[in-house]
Structure 1
Amino acid sequence: MNILKPADHRVPFGDADAIFDGFSKDDVIELAYASGDFMLAIDEAGKIVDVAANTADHSFVYKWVGQAWPDTVSAESVGKIEQMLERDSETAREWRQVNHPSKDGEIPVRYKVIQPDNNGYILAIGRDLRTVAMLQQRLLKTQQSMERDYLNLRQTETRYRLLFDNISYPVLIIESESRLIQQANRAFHNIMGAAPGTLDRKNILDLVTADDHDKLITYFGAAAVSAAAEPVLARLVGRTGTVKLSASPFRQSGKQFLLIDIDDGTHDVPGKSSDQYVLDAVEQMPDAFVLTDEKHGIIVANKAFAELVQTASVEHLLGQSLNRYIGRPDVDLGLLKKQLRDHRHVRNFSTVVNDLSGGEEPVEISAIMIERDEPLYGYSIRGVGRRERDLPHSIGDSPRSVDQLTELVGRKPLKDIVRESTDLIERMCIEAALVHTSDNRASAAEILGLSRQSLYSKLHRHGLGNLSGKDPTH
């Protein structure tokens, strides 16, 4: 039996001579094919003198014949090749990965070198790692995607917890079947005189007087089936008077839970019916509506706004900046916010909405600021593109006064406004010349420094006068 060196982790056959006795050259080559995708025969000078490939996918190795092996790899791999070419080197026996440059990018290959004692050639068995590299890239992208999703989930959870804890009225979530409190906000802990977090996993019945247990059990059972169940009155342990409990069912991870609002008479608890009516009205109104935070992040949007910006659903808009869609980034909304801070509301602010396909739609915005610790901004957006398209071209296409020109700021680029300003000045000068010459067009052309043909062209473009039936000399 062979005796292994301490640093050698390979375990050979017990009787290698008997097992390999009678192996032909073809058998040895077949064994080498089974170990890798291709083989390189390298002479003592390090030059590739012959190659053998396992499949047609590795025909590129035939281009290396006649080249020095180190010349076929990238600069950072040259050192590894030189180490593998050293005879009697401990590292020459190890599998080493190198990169071969190609027109399609670098090809990663893992090599194992065999150096026969009685032969001047070195045999390098190579394994193509492109498939492995592709899998590693896919794994890396998947990990990055999971990390982004996890980060978004953490951010969403943080926002939810912040919102849940800062609601002024008492709220808690219980598991419907066990009635154990899963989470209670700060306001509920305060009315119970408990430290934050100490009520989690407690049975809600333990916080209510015994006389009200049966009534609450019946109510929770009804609320789990229908959100229309009538709220009930109960007395909390350690408090005088009654509180009203309103439960809303929801399911998560295969279990049913109840979100419970508690009206103790000292906090403003939103009325469910009126709130729902308002939400339904906002959702179904034909004009677009958006509610944002101080940094223009979208909190609420209705279907009309989603259709206006041509996004797939309202959910895709939540958390995005309204700056992306309204007018010029950081300009139009900045002007709106300044006016809202000064006057608390704005009516008929003219701008454009930019949709996801790159188009623009002229709109008018009415906005209001809701004063809180962190103010909220509501925007009602009405498209005026159809109204402008329906106007007669002779009236609506070009401004007729300086006031109309200034109204274009924010709705059109500066170069378009300048061009329309030029048209306005030209029109006013021609009208003044016609008045000065008592509509004598020949004289008007002369004082304007224009040829008659040029004046007639401009009269036609601006729609001035009735050109038909006129004497060209007048």
Structure 2
Amino acid sequence: MPFSAPNRSLGKIDPATTATLIAAAADVALVIDREGIIQDVALNSDDLSTDLTGCSTWIGRPWVDTVTIESRSKIEALLKEAVPGRSGRSRQINYPSVQQADVPILYSAVSAGTEGSVVAFGRNLKQFSVLQRRLVEAQQTMERDYSRLHHVETRYRLLFSVSAEPVLIVDADSQKVIEANPAAADMFGEAVTAVIDKPLVDVFGPQSTSPLQSLLAVVRAAGHADDVRANLRHSGEEVLVSAYMFRQENASLFLVRLLRLTSDSALGVVPKMTWKLLKLVENSPDGFVVTDADGRIVSANAAFLDMAQLATDRQAVNQKLDRWLGRPGVDLDVLIANLTQRGTVRLFGSSLQGQFGTETAVEISAASVMNSERRCFGFAIRNIARRFRTDMRFGPDLPGSVEHLTELVGRVSLKDLVREATDVIERLSIQAALKMTGDNRASAAEMLGVSRQSLYVKLRRYGLADPTGENGSDVN
């Protein structure tokens, strides 16, 4: 509401004081004549003076020439509504800026006397504009994230529904089923809705309660556990149960997978003896690794993970075996070449580099098998560090036998052998390398750590080269 007695309370204020009051009451104040020309300007902020490009040249220019095009009609309306005794409706006016986006100013105009002059009071909306822009950007980001999550959930729901493998989602606290796919409902002989909210142990026979609870307890504590066998309540069918723990919306959940073990299962048969053999390999004190044809790890047992100083098998899967085995690009290539040609390799000497720098002498036996028309390799890796340290204590004396010497080839380089032994050891080492690589001289040179030319010189020196050129192969 306006002042009740302005003539009495404000009548003695001089023009300078009035100008100070106007400048203090607004972020920017303009005095406009009846033609719309700026007569004077007052700014109470240096930052605003920087943002308003060319504000020092406004005096003497039409107000509409200082603003953006869309704001000119608003200025005309402000000046038209500025009548003595009251303030017109406020309007946002935008000023161009070379440094950033337009500078928004909220103006209200008041008539200033009988000569038609108008005083325009402006309040800087820059901070409000920044907040508004951030709000819009945050809302757009949320919309994109929501859309992405919606698509992910749709794909999850589709995969969950069409999967032929029975899968359950179980609440970790109550151990009740909160989701079940159609394959699981078919296995239980019930509708999906009938399985929901039912305790997990209720869909299995009484004798399976203890193994299931132990499985979930171990998974909760350690993150993973061995699969257990359980019998379905309604049919008595034996199934293999595995569980994994994950978090969603601050809740812990189990993903429970079921695998039929009956002979007519579409997923195949795992005979009891084969199953025991797999468990034996998993728990073997020797490392065991399965790779694809390129040497990338498909599966590894706990002993190999321990030797390679890895916490979980996820750190090994899809990695090349020579990341840890022997000399990169040498030992594994020799092994794969021999496996491809012969199918098996026995007692190949090498070393295993741990994740944290430790080196262990190992002995490798390997075999090649075909799996669904794809070749894969199995490597049995034995830690022989203690035996190897004993074998190396030959000092200045020569080894007692050729077999003793051949066990060292590949475990130490040719340079180290020559330093401790005589030309006899060098000759025996070359012979052993040629034998281990199937007389492949290129691979033998890599194994011994010498160039091909150097190997040829040594072959001629010891009379191992075939003068006809037919003995040995240079194909890698």
What TM-score do you get using the length of structure 1 for normalisation? 0.50
* Residues 219 and 245 in structure 2, CA contact (< 8 A), matched pair in contact too: yes
Q: CA deviation at 1:215?
A: 4.1
Matching residue of 1:172: 168
Cα drift, residue 242 of structure 1: 2.9
The one-letter amino acid paired with 1:163 is L
Structure 1 residue 96 displacement after superposition: 0.6
* 1:359-417: CA deviation from partner (whole Å, max 9, x where unpaired): xxxxxxxxxxx99xxxxxxxxxxxxxxxxxxxxxxxxxxxxxxxxxxxxxxxxxxxxxx
Shift of 1:157: 2.4
| One-letter amino acid of the structure 2 residue matched with residue 38 of structure 1 | V
The equivalent of 2:230 in structure 1 is: 234
Q: How many Å separate the matches in 2 of 1:148 and 1:31?
A: 49
Equivalent pair of 1:73/1:98 in contact (CA under 8 Å) = yes
Partner secondary structure for residue 195 of structure 2: coil
In structure 2, the residue matched to 1:84 is: 78
Instruction: Determine which of 31, 44, 56 is the counterpart of 1:54.
Output: 44
In 1, Cα distance between equivalents of 2:87 and 2:122 = 14
**Matched length:** 291
Whole-angstrom distance in 1 between the partners of 2:193 and 2:24:
63
Deviations 1:186-242 (A, max 9, x none): 211222233345533332233234454344333322332235534333333332333
The answer for the alignment partner of 1:40 in structure 2 is 30
Residues 1:159 and 2:155 aligned together: yes
2:130 is matched with which residue: 127, 131, 134?
134
Structure 1 residue 286 displacement after superposition: 6.8
Q: 1:219 aligns with which of 203, 207, 215?
A: 215
Which amino acid letter does the alignment assign opposite residue 33 of structure 2? Answer: D
Cα separation, partners in 2 of 1:199 and 1:51, compared to 1, 3 Å: same
Identify the match of residue 68 of structure 1 among 27, 41, 62. Answer: 62
Is residue 204 of structure 1 aligned with residue 200 of structure 2? yes
Pairing partner for 1:123 from 119, 126, 133? 119
Residues 85 and 92 of structure 1 are in contact (CA less than 8 Å); yes or no, is this contact kept in structure 2? no
Residue number in structure 1 paired with 2:92: 97
State whether structure 2 residue 178 is matched by structure 1 residue 182.
Answer: yes
Inter-CA distance 176–101: structure 2 relative to 1 (3 Å threshold):
closer
TM-score by length of 2: 0.50
Q: 1:207 touches 1:237 (CA, 8 Å); kept in 2?
A: yes
2: distance between equivalents of 1:102 and 1:53?
Answer: 16
1:26 shift after superposition:
5.6
- Supply the distance in 2 between the matched residues of 1:74 and 1:240 (Cα, whole angstroms): 80
Q: 1:287 to 1:197 in 2, by over 3 A?
A: same
Percentage of matched positions with identical amino acids: 31
| Counterparts of residues 286-297 of structure 1 (less than 5 Å) | none
Give me the whole-angstrom Cα distance separating, in 2, the residues matched to 1:172 and 1:184: 5
The alpha-carbon deviation at position 29 of structure 1 amounts to 4.2
Structure 1 residues 234, 303: closer, same or farther in 2, change over 3 A?
Answer: closer
SS in 2 for 1:127: strand
Counterpart residue number, 2:394: none
Read off the aligned partner of 1:96 and give its amino acid letter.
Answer: R
Could you tell me how far apart the structure 1 residues matched to 2:141 and 2:254 are?
A: 33
Gap runs ≥5 in structure 1: 1-11, 290-300, 305-369, 372-474
Deviations 1:419-464 (A, max 9, x none): xxxxxxxxxxxxxxxxxxxxxxxxxxxxxxxxxxxxxxxxxxxxxx
Q: Superposition pairs for residues 458-473 of structure 1, below 5 Å?
A: none
CA contact (8 A) 1:284 1:302 kept: no
**Structure 2 residue ranges without an equivalent (≥5):** 283-288, 299-316, 321-371, 374-476
Secondary structure of residue in 2 paired with 1:93: coil
Deviation at 1:117, TM superposition (A): 5.0
**Structure-2 change in CA distance of 1:231 and 1:288 (3 Å):** closer
Distance 1:35 1:189 in 2: 73
Distance in structure 2 (CA, Å) of the matches to 1:214 and 1:281:
33
